[in-house]
Amino acid sequence: MINSKLQDALNAQINAELWSAYLYLSMSYHFANVGMPGVANWFKVQNQEETAHATILMDYLTARDGRVELKAIDGVKTSWNSLSEAFEDTLAHEQKVTAMINNLYALATEEHDYATRTKLDWFITEQVEEEENVRGILDTLRLIGDNGSGLYSFDREMATRTYVAPSILSE
């Protein structure tokens, strides 16, 4: 059984992951509305990933005889002035999530809950990848600037992203 301190912290993380999913869904539909279906697709896949992250944590908490407590999701931003602004917001958000995961890991260590620590190893690796991917996108956007054909090509490239469920989801 998981202790109440970790249960509360995991529930906070679950709700943060669901808020992240909500944010990325908002970004997806913003870019669909401004005629960038590829970018909309990229953010929709991001929404699916964040939902999967919440599911992984909910399944884990349930497996440890814990109680999942879903809370109301706060509102999210609904429009962005540019692609760069959206991806800068994305990077800042992913950095915040990384800090939250690190704090969870530290709490699991402090509470001598090595099973939770082991589960969080996957999330730590995932966050490194998330930040690296967004930094790469921001680098590309800096190179493209306001070039219309560059933005068109970028949007088409973003349309190729597909969702792949993490293998840890089926464990």
**In the chain, where the domains are located:** 4-170
DSSP 124-171: HHHHHHHHHHHHHHHHHHHHHTT-HHHHHHHHHHHTT------GGGG-
Per-residue pLDDT at 169: 77
Model confidence at 168, pLDDT cuts 50, 70, 90, reads confident
Residue at token pair 């998981």: 2
Model-level pTM? Answer: 0.95
Where residue 20 falls among pLDDT bands split at 50, 70, 90? very high
* pLDDT tens, residue by residue, 30-80: 999 999 999 999 999 999 999 999 999 999 999 999 999 999 999 999 999
Q: Helix 4-33 to helix 83-110 angle, to the nearest 10 degrees?
A: 170
Average pLDDT over residues 110-128: 96
* Mean predicted lDDT score pLDDT of the chain: 96
Asked whether the predicted pLDDT for residue 167 surpasses 90, the reply is: no
Give domain 4-170's CATH superfamily: Ferritin, core subunit, four-helix bundle (1.20.1260.10)
